[in-house]
Amino acid sequence: MSDASQPDADDEFPIDVFDDDPDFDLRPGSDSCYKCSTCDTNCPVAEVDDDFPGPKFQGPEQWRLKQRDDEHTVDASVMDCSNCMRCDEACPADVPLSQMHNAARGEYVDGMSKLSVTYWRNRLLANYRTSAFLASKAPRLANAAMNFGPARWLLEKTMGITSEREFPAFATETFREWWTRRGGADGSRRRAQERRAARGDPRDADKKVAYFHGCYANYNTTAVGKAMVRVFEQFGYEVVVPEQKCSGTPMFANGMLEDARRHAEVNVSSMADLVDQGYDAIASCTSCSMALRQEYPELFDIEGVDEVAAHTFEAVEYLRVHEDLRGALADAEIDGALAEEFAYHAPCHARNQGLERQAVELFRELDGVGVTDVGDSCSGISGTYGWKAEKYDTSMAIGDEMFDHMEAAEGQTGMTECPTCAMQMEHGTGYEVRHPLELLDAALVA
Ligand code: SF4
Ligand code: SF4
């Protein structure tokens, strides 16, 4: 495993967003903005924080200011954007708002004092994979220590990490440890071949996927990763789990573009080799699929990045396209713990990929289960955003609408594809929250 903490000698980052390099020229996008303010009215942060100037200012307006005055520095308010990317979806003129924000945030953070507590707090949060890797070496101890009241108080006072939230529990066995113990790719191939033979499925050569599990399914919600593997094998897919690092999502949100690029290089390299061999890349987290599909090609010139982006899918999306998932569910029965009424929240990054209705439509066919869409509001946590002490109140104010709708829905179990939205849903309502893959696993495999 390579060392993620060592920068490459030839790093060209951070990107100068205002560089006139034609490969990274955001000016045409900025010129497309006709100031309709639709992005501003769809921004969840601007809705609850009157001091936040909104996406139009963060993107096209800052760009224009810089074009006029080379000395213009990126406004600090870019750090108040949560990177939910709802403005991208809202803009009728296809202005690349989140690309502008990501790049501007990178430039702002490059100019920040590297001695400030805020910089190191953001760096710690953005590099969750490193903390989780260390915690996974002694998960029980880490779980006890991280949720010890005085430790949380101290983290808030010294680092600005809110003490209002409970830290997510680390699994006593990581997903990758489980995967290895279960036989890895060889075991998956054998199981998939058995299933294909049982199903009379002739598509041998096509049915192989590379799983991008991300940090959370590996260290915390391992049930999601296990469900993904079992469900894909059930449909006859051979699964491989390649070398991978964090998708970079928390790094983009914190302007840590050097870190994100280093991780993206590893991810693109391993996935590109597999895509060449006929694999598709599958993510169970909608922010991970978003990073591989949109943010990498927008921000990084890495060999193979476009091919990987074109072959990346969210797990349920992929199965809906390639398999008769609704038919399989119509014949399925579900009982036990997952025979529930679910309050479903579509993560903002699922909306950006057009996936916001899939869970609700899919599980309509499943006996014993009801799924209520709790509306189109943002959960408010946006990854690391809601973990910052100074952002906690904003995060909860954004989440209010979702909490109300969850409580108005039948049942007391939530459902979403995003692990940090799940964290916010649990925090705001006390509900247990499941991933759609867990329900598919319970209905089709278990
Ligand atoms: S990414 Fe989200 S928080 Fe940031 S400006 Fe756009 S809509 Fe607002
Ligand atoms: S929605 Fe698009 S066109 Fe309208 S103000 Fe925002 S960036 Fe400009």
CATH of the domain at 75: 1.10.1060.10
CA of 58 to the centre of ligand 2 (A): 11
Cα gap 349→379, rounded to integer Å = 11
Q: Are residues 193 and 76 in the same domain?
A: no
Residue nearest to atom 1 of ligand 2 (CA): 91
pLDDT digits (tens, 9 = 90+) for 270-326: 999 999 999 999 999 999 999 999 999 999 999 999 999 999 999 999 999 999 998
**pLDDT confidence tier of residue 334, bands split at 50, 70 and 90:** confident
Domain end among 110, 129, 154: 110
* CATH, residue 430: 3.40.50
Q: What is the pTM of this model?
A: 0.91
Q: How much is the pLDDT for 14? A: 35
Q: Are residues 184 and 310 in the same domain?
A: yes
Which residues form the domain of 312? 175-322
- The reply to whether 155 falls in a domain is yes
CA of 288 to the centre of ligand 2 (A): 26
Question: Is pLDDT above 70 for 13?
Answer: no
Question: Is pLDDT above 60 for 20?
Answer: no
pLDDT digits (tens, 9 = 90+) for 107-166: 899 999 899 999 999 999 999 999 999 999 999 999 999 989 999 999 999 999 999 999
Domain end among 322, 354, 374: 322
Mean of pLDDT over the chain: 91
Q: Are residues 179 and 307 in the same domain?
A: yes
Domain count, the chain: 4
Beta-sheet pairing, 341-344 with 280-283: unpaired
CA of 39 to the centre of ligand 1 (A): 8
Residues with CB under 6 A from ligand 2: 33-39, 56, 60, 90-91, 93, 95, 97
* 431, two tokens: 């509900």
Q: Are residues 190 and 214 in the same domain?
A: yes
- The reply to whether 120 falls in a domain is no
Provide the percentage of residues in the chain whose pLDDT is more than 70. Answer: 93
Q: Are residues 74 and 155 in the same domain?
A: no
Task: Scan for tokens 């790094």, then name that residue.
Answer: 251
Taking the mean position of all CA atoms in its chain, how far away is CA 15? 22
Q: Are residues 244 and 144 in the same domain?
A: no
- The reply to whether 154 falls in a domain is yes
Q: Are residues 196 and 315 in the same domain?
A: yes
Q: Are residues 143 and 230 in the same domain?
A: no
Cα gap 165→156, rounded to integer Å = 11
Q: Which of 208, 245, 227 is nearest to 5 (CA)?
A: 245
Q: Are residues 230 and 349 in the same domain?
A: no
Q: Mean pLDDT throughout 327-342?
A: 84
- The reply to whether 300 falls in a domain is yes
Q: Among all ligands shown, which has an atom nearest to the Cα of 48? A: 1
**pLDDT confidence tier of residue 22, bands split at 50, 70 and 90:** very low
Q: Are residues 64 and 184 in the same domain?
A: no
Q: Are residues 313 and 405 in the same domain?
A: no
pLDDT digits (tens, 9 = 90+) for 350-370: 999 999 999 999 998 788 899
pLDDT digits (tens, 9 = 90+) for 154-211: 999 999 999 999 999 999 999 999 999 999 999 999 999 999 888 887 666 679 999 9
**pLDDT confidence tier of residue 24, bands split at 50, 70 and 90:** low
- The reply to whether 290 falls in a domain is yes
- The reply to whether 116 falls in a domain is no
Q: Are residues 63 and 106 in the same domain?
A: yes
- The reply to whether 46 falls in a domain is yes
**pLDDT confidence tier of residue 439, bands split at 50, 70 and 90:** very high
